[in-house]
Amino acid sequence: MPRHIVCLTFDFDTQSGFIARGMTTPTPLSRGEFGLVGARRILALLKSQNIRATWFVPGFTIESHPKACQAVVEHGHEVAHHSWAHVPPANQSRDEEEADLKRANAAIERLTGQKARGYRSPSWDLSDNTIDLLLAHGFLYDSSLMGADYWPYRARRGDRVTLGQPYGPGEETALIEMPISWSLDDFPHFEFIRTPTSVLPGLQSARAVMQNWLDEFLYMKKTVEWGVLTYTMHPYVIGRGYRMLGLEDLIEKLAAEGAVFMTMEEAARAAQTHMGLSAPC
């Protein structure tokens, strides 16, 4: 039976990403603070459309903005793991990464009553230890890799990579990978970031980006019988008025095309069942 699942995911970073990059003057911090406004708008939109989504919430946001995070829980959304301090694991030692993982999971447990089932790394950059640590800490899924678009797959560990040598795939693990893409992330399309060494221009037309995102769904529907498509958004990015109108329009069009909206945990469990029956498409 054809099934085309859509996961709307929101990385509720607030100020954490700016602080992790050393951008601690008042203006960048206020950009992160705008995420609180965006989150209220997103919660209202999801409620009006009767959609449950997945919020990847850093421990920093849970402890800095408890009421905003409580609202996410009260609206029935999944709260998943997005580190404590938004430092990419690739920049951490194994001990540092595990300490941050546990600290953030404790914050999620205090907020929701249970540990996270899913993980998404800050800046989508896993370390060589991340998959091991996620398995050791009982995670069901990760959502940080880009090896597929419409079908979840099993995350590998221990890939062997040496310059000048063929690729050596490692062992497939039980961890379900829910793949993502920068092309389906609001951040690079919309955010203007200027640093001493680089400029991210952003500021694209919301309607044009949403048309691309809809086309991605239509291609999935055309080419696979069963699939999961994941969109990644940040409340401080998508929460601007004209982008919210674009998102509302996208959701309505996806629904009209038959999209089945799920939390990422639900989609990962559906994928687990599906993957047990047949190989990826």
Rounded to 5 degrees, φ, ψ at 204 are -80, 165
Residue 57 CB, nearest distance to Zn ion (Å)? Answer: 9
**Alpha carbon separation from 73 to 17, 119, 147, 184 (Å, rounded):** 22, 17, 31, 25
CB-nearer residue toward Zn ion: 17 or 246: 17
Residue 173 CB, nearest distance to Zn ion (Å)? Answer: 24
Residue 13 CB, nearest distance to Zn ion (Å)? Answer: 4
Please tell me whether residue 13 binds Zn ion under the rule CB under 5 A.
Answer: yes
Q: What is the CA radius of gyration of the chain?
A: 18
Please tell me whether residue 186 binds Zn ion under the rule CB under 5 A.
Answer: no
Ordered alpha helix ranges (H), 21-164: 26-49, 59-64, 66-74, 94-112, 130-136
Task: Enumerate residues 6+ apart whose C-beta is below 8 A from 146.
Answer: 124, 179, 180, 181
Interface with Zn ion by CB under 5 A: which range of 10-18, 94-102, 140-148, 243-251? 10-18
- Binding footprint of Zn ion, residue count (CB under 5 A): 2
Helix (H) or strand (E) holding 155, with range, is strand 153-157
Positions in 220-259 near Zn ion (CB under 5 A): none
Q: What is the DSSP letter of 122?
A: G
CB-nearer residue toward Zn ion: 129 or 232: 232
Cα distance between residue 275 and residue 281, in whole Å: 10
Interface with Zn ion by CB under 5 A: which range of 11-19, 64-72, 219-227, 242-250? 11-19
Please tell me whether residue 100 binds Zn ion under the rule CB under 5 A.
Answer: no
Residue 232 CB, nearest distance to Zn ion (Å)? Answer: 9
Interface with Zn ion by CB under 5 A: which range of 13-21, 71-79, 97-105, 145-153? 13-21
Number of alpha carbons in the 13 Å side-chain half-sphere of residue 272:
12
Residue 235 CB, nearest distance to Zn ion (Å)? Answer: 11
Cα distance between residue 17 and residue 230, in whole Å: 21
Residue 77 CB, nearest distance to Zn ion (Å)? Answer: 16
Please tell me whether residue 11 binds Zn ion under the rule CB under 5 A.
Answer: yes
Please tell me whether residue 142 binds Zn ion under the rule CB under 5 A.
Answer: no
CB atoms within 10 A of CB 254: 24
Positions in 101-130 near Zn ion (CB under 5 A): none
Q: Where does this chain bind Zn ion (CB under 5 A)?
A: 11, 13
